[in-house]
A and B are shown apart, each in its own frame.
Chain A
Amino acid sequence: MAEDNKSRTAEPEDEISRRAFFTKLGLGSIGLAAAGTMSFAYQYMSPNVLYEPSPVVNAGKVDRYSIDSVTLDPVSAIYLIRVQEGFFALTAICTHLGCMTAWKPELGMIACPCHGSRFNREGQKLAGPAPKPLPWLHTWLSDDGDIMVDRSTVIPAMQFLRI
């Protein structure tokens, strides 16, 4: 009963202020908990492992590609292009709205079916709404002579893979 007596005999105003304190404590920590839960939810929602094909693509041996040839690998959505200077890889995804572009040999350019963007063989935009040229992808030769393309790393244009 000691509790009771104390509270009964307590001065109203400091009683009130104590209540005020506890209320603030309660609501405050609930607020914090809510905030924490938000960040917790964010952490939870961002996956730690992905079930996606690896960004590194094995494009096979060099001699599969003739000089001045443009080869589209629809699965990994990249162009494998061999020119005099060597090899380079472009993404086949249009920089406008992500449609899959197509190589038009008769025109000698890369065309996007969706909104008519046109790119030349080096990826520079020739026409259409596309905001950026097609990015060049990092390309190298593996130990056993296969051409490897990393779709996740973009390199500045005109860096050819010399053979």
Chain B
Amino acid sequence: MQASNKIRLSWRALFRDPIRPFGVASLFLLMAFAIAPAKDHFSEWRHYQNAYLRLIHDRSDAGTLQRHFRPGIQQIWLPEAGVVDRCKTCHEGMAEAGLVDVKTQPFGKHPPIPHSLTEFGCVVCHRGQGVATTVAEAHDSTLAPEEPLLPARYMEASCGQCHHEALSGTPKLNQGRVMLARYGCVHCHTVKLPDGSTMMPSDEPPPLTHIAEKTSREWIYAWLKNPQSYSATATMPNFLLSDDDARDISAFLIANSAASGAAHAVLVAATATRTADPSAGASLYGESFCASCHATQNAAGDVVGGDLGPELTGIGTKVKPEWLRSWLRNPHEYAPGTSMPQYRWTDQQLDLLTGFLAAKSNSDFTANVHLDPATPEQIAHGRKLVAEYGCAVCHEIRGIRKPDNFAPELSRIGSKPLAQLVFTSGMNQTLPDYLAAKIQHPRDFGPGLRMPQYTFTSPQVDALSTALLSLTDRSFTMPQQWQVASPKRSNYQPAGHAGKLMADLNCQACHRMNGRGGDMAPDLSAEGSSVHRQWLNQFLANPNTLRPALIRRMPRFNLTDTERAELTDYIMTAYQIPGIDPDAVSDSGSSPALVEQGRQIFYSKYACQGCHMVDPKQDKGYVGPPLTTVGSRLTAAWIDAWLKNPQALRPGTIEPNRDMSDDDARALTAFLMAQKGSGKQEAKR
């Protein structure tokens, strides 16, 4: 009652005579109106600009800096890219070379990059909200399409928006892309690239159509339970299957397996040799250079060898000897698409190798796996699981068709709005952290998820996240003039009978030809115009190495003379490049004086002995191939052209381009062509 009475009294006081409150209220109104512009005037960016002016005020280069300083809101406007960046409003010193020593943000100088800052703006690489003029809004706004700033560790992702080829400045991004292809991510997840192409996997999941011939159900079970426990380098991820599920899947795979066309000799001989002579097998394994592609665990316990094929440490436990033998004889019968070459081993060699490999077993892998005979229910359930887990996406399985877009498409994962992400409790709510967590612990994001568990190191996770973060909306809407042509993908296949032969030998697993093939061995696209026919023929017969420094070497295939002739002809004719004219430079018979002059500049002017050796007694150059027999190997025309511009003939070769004068080139060529002494002996042999 009292209170209400008071109120009434005060209201009366107020409304008895309006003049007085009117006056007072007007005064307050005036004040209120004064607040708004004041608030606008004391804005964050003005504060930073003043701080910048204080910073540069007493530097020795203050004059220049003050001349460059532009007060007020600075903006980079790129209509075609939809970029409105006002970052420079606070980051005033961004382009000031003089401020390279300033570490305090926002005034530091931008580190050198290959692009002009004003031409591309800031948000294209750094993300964040370019239009904002307040720190919080600009850096961590999360409203699509505004994204929070991209952390520095993932910055290479921004390069990947335009550059789809491998850049030397972005190792992390390159690694991530390779991993996406190698670890089968792109088997399940479609990744479309702005140029319309789709990311292709680079791994070779074996077909499971005839798996019963290859291995035992116990091994399958143990493998399914944990592939990495079989070999640490296994690329197949762990699906965290329950014992029963693993049991049923293995049951189904065995039951589902059909007979392949491969003829399985009964391996009496092999079983004999297995006990007989492991060292012979080992030496054969060695001189066939299996280690170029296959790794094995050595006594010290570290895995050595190539990663093109599977690790062979426990191969004996994995595969059945008869299968192994037939596989070694001709892999294409079992897996037509494999990149394992068909060595032309003799039966005796096959036995040796089979025995040697079959002995490589870690029997404790399957030791405590005991499976009862499969029941029809288990097999049926196994089939269901196989379909459920999408095994058929990677592996060819009889009677199960490959499901299309089995997992979410990732073409634009890099700019997925936070609102659409479901985070686990307690994790940082940012896209990079989400991706990293998803890669490391996929199953934490809810029950019933099928994404398997990989075993990646944290640098690998970083690389993968970087590659994924480069798949943004923006990359699809880049202005025409920014788009970088992605590297041509060629599916060149050698033609004809020789082509078939090369397919059997899988030359392209290691050699690149006309844009397709591995990068383990030299590109052969220009081989025909570079080497002598005779040398090539000899080489195919007995591929001695050109570079003693390398571990990986060309294996020796037991080619028949006709096969060699055929192959040589094909290479010599098919792999010519224009501009190398064999007749332009005389292949032999140059004056000794010229040769001597060549020797002079070889040693003095160009100091080639630093990397090459001509005279093994005095030269030790170890970087480039030895040139002791170069005369019998390479054509003069090629040497001449090579000396003048190596990169033109083999892009990326580390032989520096010395812009050699024609005279020098001719002299050196003459000198090098003279180095064929041992070549002659070889020819004789």
Which residues of A approach B to under 8 Å, CB–CB?
Answer: 1, 3-4, 7, 18-19, 21-30, 32-33, 36-37, 40, 43, 48-49, 51
Contact = CB atoms under 8 A, between A and B. Distances in A.
B25 A26 contact: yes
B33 A37 contact: yes
Given A26-B19, A29-B29, 6 more contacts: A3-B13, A3-B16, A7-B17, A26-B26, A29-B26, A29-B30
Chain A at the B interface: SS class: helix
Interface residues of B, number: 25
Contacts of B19: 19, 22-23, 26
Interface in B444-497: none
A49 B26 contact: no
26 contacts: A3-B13, A3-B16, A7-B16, A7-B17, A18-B20, A19-B19, A19-B20, A22-B22, A25-B23, A25-B24, A25-B27, A26-B22, A26-B25, A26-B26, A26-B27, A28-B26, A29-B26, A29-B29, A30-B29, A30-B30, A33-B30, A37-B33, A40-B33, A43-B37, A49-B75, A49-B86
B33 A4 contact: no
Contact of B26 (A1, A25, A48, A51): A25
Nearest to B32: A33
Nearest to B22: A26
Interface in B189-205: none
Nearest to B14: A3
Query: Nearest 9 CB-CB pairs, A to B?
Result: A22-B23, A25-B23, A26-B23, A26-B26, A29-B30, A29-B26, A3-B13, A26-B22, A33-B30
B30 A32 contact: yes
A151 B183 CA distance: 56
B268 interface: no
A102 to B, nearest CB: 28
Given A22-B19, A40-B37, A1 B9 contact: yes
Interface in B15-59: 16-17, 19-20, 22-27, 29-30, 33-34, 36-37
B9 to A, nearest CB: 7
B30 A23 contact: no
B36 A40 contact: yes
B27 A29 contact: yes
B30 A51 contact: no
Interface of B: 9, 12-13, 16-17, 19-20, 22-27, 29-30, 33-34, 36-37, 72-73, 75, 77, 79, 86
Contacts of A27: 26
Contacts of A33: 26, 29-30, 33
Contacts of B16: 3-4, 7
Contacts of A23: 19, 22-23
A22 B9 CA distance: 21
A4 B20 CA distance: 13
A27 B30 CA distance: 11
Contacts of A28: 26
Contacts of B24: 22, 25-26
A48 B72 contact: yes
Given A36-B34, A48-B72, A22 B20 contact: yes
Contacts of B12: 3-4
A18 B19 CA distance: 9
Nearest to B9: A1
Contacts of A36: 30, 33-34, 37
Contacts of B26: 25-30, 33
Nearest to B25: A26
A1 B86 CA distance: 60
A77 B462 CA distance: 50
A7 B16 CA distance: 10
Contacts of B23: 21-26, 29
A49 B73 contact: yes
Contacts of B13: 3-4
Contacts of A40: 33, 36-37
Contact of A51 (B9, B72, B73, B77): B77
A35 to B, nearest CB: 10
Contacts of A24: 23
B309 to A, nearest CB: 50
B23 to A, nearest CB: 3
A51 B85 CA distance: 12
Nearest to A27: B26
A33 B32 CA distance: 9
A28 B33 CA distance: 14
A1 B6 CA distance: 10
B197 to A, nearest CB: 34
A24 to B, nearest CB: 8
